[in-house]
Amino acid sequence: MDKKIALTGRVAVVTGGSRGIGRAIAELFGRAGARVVIASSQAEAVEHAAAELSAQGIPCIGVPCNVAELNQVQGLLRQALNKWGQVDIWVNNAGIAGPFGYTLDVPPAEWGRVIQTNLMGTYYGCVTVLPHMMERRYGKIINMSGGGAHKAQRYLSAYSTSKAAIMRLTDGLARDYKDHHYLSINLLEPGIVPTDMTTQFEDRVVSAREALKALPRVMQIFGTTAEEAANVALRMASRETD
């Protein structure tokens, strides 16, 4: 962590914050002085993660939240405000990869679930917290992109589509609200990070299994760590992006 960056007095909400990149971001924000709200669709996992962060001396609460449901995202904001009265930083990190297979082999409902979670979950986070940030005349939103934003990942058409759309959504929001100089709306695109999502694919085709065998080698070349991604997020959340 950059010792010069402090988030003292800030409140940060991190979706998908119980593990992986989200957990690393929440922990780093807390160590920088922020009060943290982590959310996850898994109630037991988020409760456990919040307890671990609290044990480190980080002011933290965990909130069960399925970001694919707008009412749950709105409830997440309410719980953060009930606890600390403000939200200064919102990280839309929650996401799923979906099945690993040919597009035609993925049931439409499962393809749509990836879009609903990744894209609509990010959209719900943005439109839920933006009015609060505009009222307070301060706010940092960080959206997470990834593989597929610039070039589709084979056997992951839904995931690739969602990440490309998140890039355009972030760009659109930044352009729409560029005259609100107290807002910062950024896109974080980490490299391949070895998390549960990148190491526990559900494969649907034999050729996909061959591609998965190459994943460790790909990670050696293009991979990064959750901690590196968290450090970029810390700069995005700091006064450096004012």
Catalytic (active-site) positions? 159
Say which residues have a Cβ less than 8 Å from residue 186's Cβ, sequence separation at least 6. 140, 141, 142, 143, 170, 174, 236, 241
Cβ burial, residue 57 (10 Å; 0-12/13-18/19+) = exposed
Residue 185 near residue 141, CB atoms below 8 Å: yes
Residue 38's DSSP bridge partners are: 14, 62
Cα–Cα separations (whole angstroms), residue 73 to 32, 126, 173, 200: 25, 10, 18, 26
Cα–Cα separations (whole angstroms), residue 100 to 114, 153, 200: 12, 10, 10
Reported residue count of the chain is 242
